[in-house]
Structure 1
Amino acid sequence: MFLLFAVLIVCGMYVSLTNGTFDISAKDVVRTLLRIHPVADHDLVIFEFRLPRILLGALVGFGLGIAGAVLQGITRNSLADPGILGIHAAAGAFVVVFMFFMGGTMKAPGWISVMSMPMFGFIGGLCSIVLLYVFARNQGEFHPQQLILVGIALASGFGAVTLYVSLRMDPENFEMATVWLAGSVYNANWRQVLSTLPWLVLLTPVIWRRAAVLDLLQLHEVSVKGVGVAVGRERQILLLCCVGLVSACVSVSGAISFVGLIAPHIARRLIGNTYRYIVPLCGLIGMLMVVIGDFIGKTVFAPVQLPVGIVISIIGVPFFIFLLFRNRAR
């Protein structure tokens, strides 16, 4: 499965890199990447437009896929994902506030400037998690229905804040915020890739090392404590890692919903319920979804470019309704 999805991702990247408004042959792509008789037009299209966009989409999909698997694992709820629980909306609201006050930039040297938007998104994600802990727990446990209801309420509240702040922006920043909120990577650049990569590199191994804990968390709370797992501490660590991944992704791509919902379900059907394999496979599935979704959005509706968040939502909404009916049937 890992090899299959890796091949599919490479194929998707290849198709997206060579096709578009300005088609480039595979031979020219290889020559440009290897710096063999480079052409200025090819350099511009590949290094400034397509390659950052493809890599950023892959990173965002990877982070959201893993975050969805973690959230479904720690809540024991197959309908949980960063968008439904309000994490997307909270991180997005704080990033829009940052864009409003800072004009999308921060006058600071080096990595402080690069990491500023993800940090604001992380603070927003933490706020949503705190509110979920306060309102969605009963006697120390998460109840699936209450968790979904609280998440929807939080998403609506933070969405209202986002709308209010965006309406107070000047026309240029408002247009940028509107496109960003739809979930898009078509304005990607190397700086955004660099701001997202450290979060994935640092937090993904922390989550993967706790795959056995995620397996145990599928048991009843009393049973998990009985085998010596510090449930509260482990759940908090996993939640913080999840918030970090989602915030880093939202800060550069906006709210791309349903990746974290769909990827874990596909992974479980393919390889079972062992999180040691589910976590990395969810990352690969998320990468494939965003890369292919972005390619569809920029080619099928050309010359108009449809944000990848809308493309995935077209698939995700029916899938979510199907899961609701299936859970009700059980």
Structure 2
Amino acid sequence: MKPDILPHAHGGRPATASDLLRKRFLKVLIALIMLTAILFLTGLSAGSTWLNPLEVMRHLAGAGSGEHAFVIDTLRMPRMLLAMLAGAALGAAGLIMQGVVRNPLGSPDVVGVTGGASVAAVFFITYLAGSVSLRWLPAAAIAGAAVASALVYALAWKKGVTPVRLVLVGIGIAACMGALTTMMIVMGDNYSTSSAYLWMTGSVYGATKSDVLSLLPWVALLIPLSVLFSRASGILELGDETATGLGVRVQLHRLVMLAISVSLAGAAVAFAGGIGFVGLIAPHMARKLVGRSFAYLVPVSALLGSLIVALADVVARTAFLPMDIPAGVLVSGIGAPFFIYLLYRNRHQ
């Protein structure tokens, strides 16, 4: 019997390994979508005032009394949607970054992309917030992420870019960005410092419908776009020489995928702040669930990232009432030990 052919349980055409993997992917995808829906309903119900989930469902269906419309539509729904969109963007961005650098430790916050967004955002909050409208803060954060990634790519270039150089240069740039951010916070006034700290921690507090509509196109366009490059991304994991031999334009593909990852991470950080480790955790969880097929990993990583950030926000704003803890605090509490574990596991590689 061939290793990739398995007997069908009920006769007929034998089931191949790819058939079984596809079925497993569909089961995981359906389960994650159901969990996301349950968490969304829980997030709309939970808070300082508990709402009956059935009443929330009636309201969403347009048959509610309207008594809790302000709480559901204005306070909780934008917050949940923004958390889910930001988490999806960070999860997919982390997966793409790990594929580009071929390193399980690669993620936007590790290689300096998030750091660049943080520098730009803290600079904006500290020095420009009084004279420039805050609606330009997301643009500043995205621009900072783009500049940081361009700097990493340029410094890592030497007749092409290798994954090892990209990671090493990225870690160095991340450290420099962290130092610049700290310096601006120390030199800023008390009001701007507290605002910058809250943004850096990562929070979807005060999310609006406008924020959701602004982030949605980035997620809706770039995540499906990354799936279109799934075949080349899978080949690239075999190594640059093998990929070149199979017809993949390695440097061009790496640049395009890096641009997609940076755009997703920059957009997420712009609207939800510096939530770290989501791009590190979600792809590893996805590989455990659906294997290493890039086309399957993208939606699963996005859904897992969405669940991580949304769950962290629901717990953070309900478990510590009357305080509203930033979601990034809980995510970092899980992500930092996970990062140390990955370092330990890969110490001999």
Q: After TM superposition, is the score higher than 0.5?
A: yes
Residues 37 and 325 from structure 1, CA distance in 2 versus in 1: closer, same or farther, beyond 3 angstroms?
Answer: closer
Whole-angstrom distance in 2 between the partners of 1:34 and 1:106: 40
Q: Is the contact between residue 182 and residue 307 of structure 1 (CA under 8 Å) also seen in structure 2?
A: yes
Among residues 100, 115, 121, which one is paired with 2:141 in the alignment? 121
Partner of 1:134: 154
Partner of 1:298: 317
Please, what is the CA RMSD of the aligned residues? 2.1
Number of residue-to-residue matches in the alignment: 322
Other structure's SS at 1:88 match: helix
Q: Which amino acid aligns with 2:37?
A: V
Partner of 2:52: 25
Whole-angstrom distance in 1 between the partners of 2:129 and 2:263: 23
Q: Is the contact between residue 44 and residue 72 of structure 2 (CA under 8 Å) also seen in structure 1?
A: yes
Unpaired runs of at least 5, structure 2: 1-27
TM-superposed CA distance for 1:138, in Å, is 5.1
Among residues 91, 99, 105, which one is paired with 2:125 in the alignment? 99
Among residues 231, 234, 238, which one is paired with 1:219 in the alignment? 238
Residues 105 and 247 from structure 1, CA distance in 2 versus in 1: closer, same or farther, beyond 3 angstroms?
Answer: farther
- Pick the structure with greater CA Rg: 2
Other structure's SS at 2:275 match: coil
Whole-angstrom distance in 1 between the partners of 2:310 and 2:64: 29
Among residues 1, 4, 11, which one is paired with 2:38 in the alignment? 11
Partner of 1:251: 270
Whole-angstrom distance in 2 between the partners of 1:37 and 1:267: 37
Other structure's SS at 2:182 match: helix
Partner of 2:71: 45
Whole-angstrom distance in 1 between the partners of 2:147 and 2:196: 21
Q: How does 1:129-208 map to 2 (within 5 A)?
A: 129-137=149-157, 139-144=159-164, 146-208=165-227
Partner of 2:228: 209
Comparing 94-103 and 191-200, the one that deviates more: 94-103
4+ residue runs over 4 A deviation: 104-107, 167-170
TM-superposed CA distance for 1:328, in Å, is 2.1
- TM-score when normalising by structure 1: 0.91
Residues 269 and 167 from structure 1, CA distance in 2 versus in 1: closer, same or farther, beyond 3 angstroms?
Answer: same
Whole-angstrom distance in 1 between the partners of 2:44 and 2:306: 15
Identity over aligned pairs, percent? 35
Whole-angstrom distance in 2 between the partners of 1:236 and 1:153: 20
Comparing 119-128 and 286-295, the one that deviates more: 119-128
TM-superposed CA distance for 1:3, in Å, is 0.5
Whole-angstrom distance in 2 between the partners of 1:271 and 1:78: 16
- TM-score when normalising by structure 2: 0.86
Whole-angstrom distance in 2 between the partners of 1:177 and 1:104: 14
Other structure's SS at 1:328 match: coil
TM-superposed CA distance for 1:303, in Å, is 1.8
TM-superposed CA distance for 1:224, in Å, is 0.8
Partner of 1:327: 346
Unpaired runs of at least 5, structure 1: 108-112
